[in-house]
Amino acid sequence: MTHETKPVDALSEAEARAELERLATDLARHDAAYHTHDAPVVSDADYDALKRRNLAIEARFPKLKLSESPTEKVGAPVAEGFGKITHKVAMLSLDNAFSDEDARDFVSRVKRFLSLTPFDELALTAEPKIDGLSLSLRYENGRLVSAATRGNGAVGENVTANARTISDIPEQLAGADVPEIMEVRGEVYMTKADFMALNERQAAAGKQTYVNPRNTAAGSLRQLDSKVTAERPLKFFAYAWGEVAPALPYGTQSEMVAAFGRWGFSVNPLMARVMSVDELIAHYRRIETERASLPYDIDGVVYKVDDLGLQQRLGFVSRSPRWAIAHKFPAEKAATRLTAIDIQVGRTGALTPVARLEPVTVGGVVVTNATLHNAEEIERLGVRIGDTVQVQRAGDVIPQVLGVVSSPPDAVSFTFPSTCPCNLQTPVIREETAGGVEGVVRRCSGEFACPFQRKEHLKLFVSRKAFDIEGLGEKQIEYFYDDPSLPIRAPADIFTLAERDAAEDLLKLKNRDGYGETSAQKLFDAIEARRTVALDRLIFALGIRHVGETTARTLARAYGDWQSFHEAARALAGGDAAAIEEMDALDDIGPAVVEAVGRFFGEEHNIAMVEDLVSQLTVQDAEKPSQESPVAGLTIVFTGSLERMTRDEAKAMAERLGAKAAGSVSKKTDILVAGPGAGSKLAKAEALGVRTMTEDEWFELVG
């Protein structure tokens, strides 16, 4: 639905010829940027859209097909040559702060969790956030034995041979205090000067130049031939660790990093240890001032709680530690022309307008698209097609349009469509809030009938956090979906491919980018390997609104097995008050989730989809985090004022011990831990005959 791109059916022969030539040049450029330089200039989705358009034009005008057509090209080799390494301790990411206020909130949150008053001192470290890629180095008895990239956080690529070529990475650690097993983690990066010198050499040799140091460092570390890596000037800063045995040698972050320095690593000289949030922010300002003159790129400042005992108590939320945060530098901005506005339909049917932009470099990355969020935002910005606009990019988030810089007389206003851009042209509706106020989001009302929504749901279904099927990702779903002769239209279809003997259909995918090497059998095997699925993954994969991976895990742990969850969800959809109350009482689950689950399981087509799917699967019962603990599997409620721990800490502790921490007392509650001042919950527990205990008794019980 690009307003400047004609439908293929409407192209004249001359237009088709010109466009095929333009597409061949663009695709060749994108191929080189992606495969050879690890520096893509367009998103995968945009790239695929170009390829599909090329195919469609060739299909309509076969005689115009160029001899060097992009469709004939086999994708460049992907880095398949690295072995995998499973991280003994997951490599996590950091939560972000974008303002001083966020930084203050972080410190307050930490203090609250630890039951400190705002006036209690808390030692923190602040250090630059290096814009490179993280690497985990494993030393056994002081010798480097392996090096792994972060990968998906759980499993990374084995890049040991390449890491050995980096002079900042010692082969042998020096020091009597080096633990027998010591995984040192940090950032691989390239300095700005080395990056520029490398580009000069490339240019002098008539070769392509690179886009930015970060992507170049990533590309260099992931070279299959370590001789190539050795020629690239990579560096490494050590700042964290993974597995350490028999024990951590020091009790603070700052002592650990100082030890890394003595053992032979480079450590960042701008790391400071401070005692207050004001000093923390002052150090942020100092690093921000020095940023431009530093020899390497940084994108923020990382704050960490210094005391490792406190870090342990704080633990993790989802994928990031509670004891650290990255305070990012403000987003970078640039101006460019907005050439078109397209409508994208998401998994939940939301219609999102996307600005197509003339390519512009913002903070080292070429930006060609930006989100416009919704119709109100377009109106608020007053943006029209043809305007020059200011765009902003911050970290990995989607670039945004900030406002109009100038508007030529021939700029065209955008009319928000009243029907879905799919072939069904389903009417678009605006949701109303509880108070009857019209919401800003426009949704296609087609739900599962809408091809865009089905496609987006399938993408979620196969994604890493859901079914995670090797060789079946977003790109492949696009292929499958856009060609109606191919056999995946709904999740269950994935699991019947082999029995329907779809191998021949799959052959059609041969030679399409990303599918060249995948044999049908390999895909069938990968699918078979996922036929047994964990309950939380299944719940997440259903794509119920408001049910993300954390909520899915909570639901899985609470209901234990598929049948219980399914029955509860169906009962809830039927308006069963006990079922509603039971789900609502779960910790971290609010009315929005309960309503969404009810609505999902109240729709006939969803029920059919789920039944077809589950009949193909073996669903594993939810994992109980710690089976040994005396409270594993029990539901605990904390009430009253606790004296030895905060409420958040108590809940986190219960969950660590395999229990479920609930917010309200019901007949499902096993134990109520009541501190002084406990009121209605204690009364209700006593009325229901629920076991109650004091905080001290709780500690006696769990040890």
Which residues are known catalytic residues?
Answer: 129
Query: Least Å distance between CB 130 and ligand IVH?
Result: 4
What's 252's DSSP letter? B
Of 127 and 478, which has the nearer Cβ to ligand IVH?
Answer: 127
Question: How open is the CA angle 167-156-82, to the nearest 5 degrees?
Answer: 75
Q: What distance, in Å, lies between the first and last C-alpha atoms of the chain? A: 63
Of 150 and 457, which has the nearer Cβ to ligand IVH?
Answer: 150
* Residues at the interface with ligand IVH (CB under 6 A): 92-94, 127, 129-130, 134, 150, 187, 239-240, 302, 321, 324, 326
Query: Least Å distance between CB 87 and ligand IVH?
Result: 12
- Report CA-CA distances (Å) from 327 to 102, 125, 222, 308: 8, 12, 28, 21
Of 301 and 362, which has the nearer Cβ to ligand IVH?
Answer: 301
DSSP per-residue string spanning 583-650: HHTSTT--HHHHHHHHHHTT-HHHHHHHHHHHTT-EEEPPPPS-SSSTTTT-EEEEES--SSS-HHHH
Q: Is 39 helix (H, G, I), strand (E, B) or coil?
A: coil
> Contact, 20 vs 68, CB < 8 A?
no
Of 316 and 405, which has the nearer Cβ to ligand IVH?
Answer: 316
Query: Least Å distance between CB 326 and ligand IVH?
Result: 6
> Contact, 626 vs 540, CB < 8 A?
no
Query: Least Å distance between CB 93 and ligand IVH?
Result: 4
Query: Least Å distance between CB 122 and ligand IVH?
Result: 18
Query: Least Å distance between CB 42 and ligand IVH?
Result: 24
> Contact, 54 vs 493, CB < 8 A?
no
Question: Which residue is nearest to ligand IVH, using beta carbons?
Answer: 134
Query: Least Å distance between CB 465 and ligand IVH?
Result: 18
Of 93 and 418, which has the nearer Cβ to ligand IVH?
Answer: 93
Beta strands in 151-229 (DSSP E): 155-157, 181-189
Question: How open is the CA angle 299-302-306, to the nearest 5 degrees?
Answer: 165
Q: How far apart are CA 252 and CA 124, in angstroms?
A: 10
Of 303 and 565, which has the nearer Cβ to ligand IVH?
Answer: 303
Query: Least Å distance between CB 92 and ligand IVH?
Result: 4
Of 27 and 271, which has the nearer Cβ to ligand IVH?
Answer: 271
Q: In this structure, is the dihedral angle defined by the CA atoms of residues 436, 442, 447 and 449, taken in order, positive or negative?
A: positive
H/E/C letters for each residue in 291-310? Answer: HHHCCCCEEEEEEEECEHHH
Structure tokens at 470: 């090797």
Residues 6+ apart with CB under 8 A from 300: 96, 128, 129, 326, 327, 328, 329
Of 174 and 317, which has the nearer Cβ to ligand IVH?
Answer: 317
Q: How far apart are CA 686 and CA 245, in angstroms?
A: 47
Q: How far apart are CA 35 and CA 76, in angstroms?
A: 6
> Contact, 418 vs 428, CB < 8 A?
yes
